[in-house]
Amino acid sequence: EAGVAQSPRYKIIEKRQSVAFWCNPISGHATLYWYQQILGQGPKLLIQFQNNGVVDDSQLPKDRFSAERLKGVDSTLKIQPAKLEDSAVYLCASSLQGSTMNTEAFFGQGTRLTVV
C-alpha cells in the first residue's frame, strides 16, 4: 500500500516569507498528525486531526502556523511569516484511529525547511 506522501522534500526560504507543506495520508486513515523535528531532537506534535476536525493543536504557534485538512483527507501546514527557529523537518503521520485505541502511526519522509 502507498505510504504517507509529503511535498516538497526540501524548501529554503528567507525569514519573514511564507511557506506551505502538503501531506497525503494513507487511504482510509482518519487521524493525521503534523510534527516538527528540530535537528538532534525528537519530533514534537504540532497538530492532530480526526477526519477534518482538530483534536489537539495545543503546541501549534497559532500566531504564525496554520493547518487545515480538507474533506478529511489531504492536509496543508502553513507558516507565515517564517522565523529562523522554524528551520526543521516537518513530518506528517497518519493512523487508522487515534482517540482511545492504540494504533500504529505511519510517518512520511518529511519536508526539510531551512529559513535563512
Partner 1 sequence: LAKTTQPISMDSYEGQEVNITCSHNNIATNDYITWYQQFPSQGPRFIIQGYKTKVTNEVASLFIPADRKSSTLSLPRVSLSDTAVYYCLVGNTGGFKTIFGAGTRLFVKA
Q: How far is the CB of 12 from partner 1 (least distance, A)?
A: 16
Residues numbered 56-115 forming contacts with partner 1, rule: CB under 8 A: 56, 91, 93, 95, 98-110, 112
The rounded distance, in Å, linking the Cα atoms of 72 and 86 is 26
Work out the widest C-alpha separation in the chain, in whole angstroms.
Answer: 41
Q: Does 40 bind partner 1 (CB under 8 A)?
A: yes
Q: Does 44 bind partner 1 (CB under 8 A)?
A: yes
Q: Does 22 bind partner 1 (CB under 8 A)?
A: no
Q: How far is the CB of 16 from partner 1 (least distance, A)?
A: 27
Q: Does 27 bind partner 1 (CB under 8 A)?
A: no
69: left (phi over 0), alpha (psi -120 to 50) or beta: beta
Cell of 15: 525569514
The CA-to-CA distance between both ends of the chain, in Å, stands at 37
C-alpha angle 89-84-109 in degrees, rounded to nearest 5 = 10
Q: How far is the CB of 105 from partner 1 (least distance, A)?
A: 4
Interacting residues toward partner 1 by CB under 8 A:
4, 31, 33, 35, 40-45, 48, 56, 91, 93, 95, 98-110, 112
